[in-house]
């Protein structure tokens, strides 16, 4: 799907065809649309095919007056009914002499916010500023999702204190995997943005300098938060593994006590139930009394030993 947007006083408005200074948004393009981008709009075929590759890593390069920026964007999704998973999706940005193209296999949050007006003062005609604003919003989304990961893990931790549920453990494992995705993507994004910061690939203007510095700060902050949350979650998982092992030992100890206590009546009644001579006081009441006394004494000794 190919859509065109122009700016009217900082507000994006859709238009019917491409014009100079407009933003061309391409989402989940068909093979015919890919060929159209290459043949009609003159985009580099390698740039277009890299943009629709979900395994493409973050990078920046130039070819024939066109600049390709591939940046990883964060995505939040549900894996099943109760497990939330976070991952990253590459977004290709191709800058030409007249337009900015964004190419994505799926619609991402940053593209939704750009088209519905959540990102203010977007002007595709100012190509460098437009790209930096998109990158800044992507960095902000990383920070937002990292805070959500921290919130979910804290909530799961509180629930796990009360009951060990497999669903909660699966959620923590999913968050741990999500942080690995985020950490890897953020480091790749940082390298790409630092190349932009040098001004050798994309032409930078003085009025964009503050925006680029804010972008670098946001990315570095996101990387630091990702590392901190990864360490916290890893330590939490180790702690819960120890708790689960300890709980298992407690259950096995209780079952052992129950088994020993129940075995005493079996032994006593087995002796008094067979044809054995010379047993002391071969009366039913004595066997029951002996069973009660020995069972109570054994239970008392085992429970006292357990509490030491």
Q: pLDDT digit string (tens) for 57-82?
A: 888 888 878 888 899 998 888 876 77
Confidence of residue 279 (pLDDT cuts 50, 70, 90): low
Neighbours of 38 (CB within 10 A): 16
| Per-residue model confidence (pLDDT) at position 277 | 62
Grade residue 243 by pLDDT with cuts at 50, 70 and 90: confident
Nearest to 233 by CA among 162, 154, 143: 154
Higher-pLDDT residue of 298 and 100 is 100
* pTM for the structure as a whole: 0.76
CA of 160: how far to CAs of 146, 148, 182, 229, in Å?
21, 18, 25, 18
pLDDT at 122 over 60: yes
Q: Express each pLDDT in 156-214 by its tens digit.
A: 777 766 656 667 777 888 888 888 888 888 888 888 888 888 767 777 777 777 788 88
Are 72 and 45 in contact, with CB atoms under 8 Å apart? no
pLDDT on residue 177: 86
Determine the pLDDT at residue 59: 87
- Within the chain, how many helices (H) and strands (E) appear? 7, 7
Q: What is the mean pLDDT of the chain?
A: 81
- Planar angle of CA 108, 112, 117, nearest 5 degrees: 150
Amino acid 161: pLDDT: 64
Give the pLDDT mean for 13-33.
85
Give the tokens for residue 90. 């590459």
User: Which of the four pLDDT bands, split at 50, 70 and 90, describes residue 275?
Assistant: low
């Amino acid at each position: 799907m190919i859509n065109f947007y122009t700016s009217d006083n900082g507000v994006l408005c859709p238009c019917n065809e491409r014009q100079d200074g407009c933003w061309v948004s391409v989402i989940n393009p068909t093979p015919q649309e890919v060929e159209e981008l290459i043949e009609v709009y003159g985009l580099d075929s390698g740039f277009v095919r890299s943009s629709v590759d979900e395994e493409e890593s973050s990078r920046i390069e130039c070819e024939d007056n066109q600049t390709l920026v591939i940046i990883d964007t964060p995505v939040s999704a549900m894996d099943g009914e109760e497990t939330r998973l976070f991952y990253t999706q590459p977004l290709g940005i191709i800058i030409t002499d007249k337009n900015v193209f964004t190419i994505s296999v799926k619609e991402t949050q940053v593209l939704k916010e750009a088209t519905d007006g959540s990102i203010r003062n977007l002007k595709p005609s100012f190509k460098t500023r437009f790209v930096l604003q998109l990158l800044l919003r992507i960095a902000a989304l990383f920070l937002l999702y990292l805070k959500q990961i921290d919130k979910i893990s804290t909530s799961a931790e509180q629930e796990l204190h009360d009951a060990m549920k497999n669903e909660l453990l699966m959620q923590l494992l999913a968050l741990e995997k999500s942080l690995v995705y985020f950490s890897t993507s953020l480091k790749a994004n940082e390298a790409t943005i630092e190349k932009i910061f040098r001004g050798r690939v994309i032409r930078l203007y003085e009025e964009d300098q503050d925006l680029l510095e804010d972008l670098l700060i946001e990315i570095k902050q996101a990387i630091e938060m990702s590392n901190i949350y990864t360490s916290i979650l890893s330590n939490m998982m180790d702690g819960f593994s120890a708790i689960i092992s300890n709980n298992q030992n407690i259950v096995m100890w209780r079952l052992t006590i129950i088994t020993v206590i129940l075995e005493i009546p079996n032994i006593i009644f087995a002796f008094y139930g067979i044809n054995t001579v010379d047993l002391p006081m071969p009366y039913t009441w004595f066997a029951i009394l002996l069973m009660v006394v020995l069972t109570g004494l054994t239970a008392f000794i085992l429970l006292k030993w357990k509490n030491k």
